[in-house]
């Protein structure tokens, strides 16, 4: 069985409705250093990262410790917002989307979710994956057979551990969770 350690990125310098690709703020960089120290004894393992700045910056401290470059993986990137939205519109859309259920979302979003899950099922060695709130939720909800888009609220740099045999995805350990009212989704 393959273990997958899915890490939500550290706290970003701007929210979903403020910037398309923010980096980490000072706290986020501190969080990235801390999670690297927690994960360091597991490896070196393969490191995958969403190509977005906040996930790459979160992966960097572990990458330095293990002397391994992260593989940039689009399949674990942020959920795609509808084209043509303003930044403020993106934030409004996201709020409605997060309150929804997978059977009710647009076909392109279900296709995105399938790509996340298929990527995870296709990984053949223990790996650390730096990703996003919604991508982690997509995998978690799939593994738990939960129809909610937001099945739980992983904190910044929480680590959710999955196990796969290539056919099934199982949750071994849910990452640290924040009260839904306090989360910043990105």
Report the CATH number that the domain containing residue 111 is assigned in CATH: 3.40.50.1240
Do residues 25 and 155 touch, judged by C-beta distance below 8 A?
A: no
- Reduced to 3 states (helix: H, G, I; strand: E, B; else coil), residue 87 is helix
Full-model pTM: 0.94
pLDDT in tens, 40-98: 999 999 999 999 999 999 999 999 999 999 999 999 999 999 999 998 899 899 999 99
Q: Number of structural domains, the chain?
A: 1
Do residues 146 and 140 touch, judged by C-beta distance below 8 A?
A: yes
Give the phi and the psi of residue 115 in degrees, each rounded to 5. Answer: -65, -40
> What's residue 16's pLDDT?
83
Residue 17: pLDDT band (50, 70, 90) is confident
- Reduced to 3 states (helix: H, G, I; strand: E, B; else coil), residue 165 is coil
Average pLDDT over residues 106-113: 97
Domain range holding 51? 2-182
Does the structure show a pLDDT above 50 at 183?
A: no
Do residues 80 and 106 touch, judged by C-beta distance below 8 A?
A: no
């Amino acid at each position: 069985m393959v273990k997958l350690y899915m890490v939500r990125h550290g706290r970003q310098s701007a929210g979903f409705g403020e910037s398309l690709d923010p980096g980490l703020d000072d706290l986020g960089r501190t969080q990235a250093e801390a999670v690297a120290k927690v994960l360091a004894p597991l490896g070196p393992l393969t490191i995958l990262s969403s190509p977005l700045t906040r996930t790459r910056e979160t992966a960097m401290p572990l990458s330095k410790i293990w002397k391994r470059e992260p593989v940039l993986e689009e399949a674990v990137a942020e959920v795609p917002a509808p084209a043509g939205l303003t930044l403020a519109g993106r934030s409004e859309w996201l709020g409605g989307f997060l309150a929804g259920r997978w059977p009710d979302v647009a076909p392109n979003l279900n296709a995105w979710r399938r790509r996340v899950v298929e990527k995870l099922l296709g990984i053949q060695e223990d790996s650390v994956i730096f990703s996003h709130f919604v991508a982690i939720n997509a995998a978690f909800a799939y593994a738990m057979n939960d129809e909610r888009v937001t099945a739980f609220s992983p904190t910044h740099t929480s680590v959710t551990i999955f196990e796969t045999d290539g056919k099934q995805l199982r949750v071994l350990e849910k990452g640290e969770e924040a009260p839904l009212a306090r989360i910043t989704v990105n």
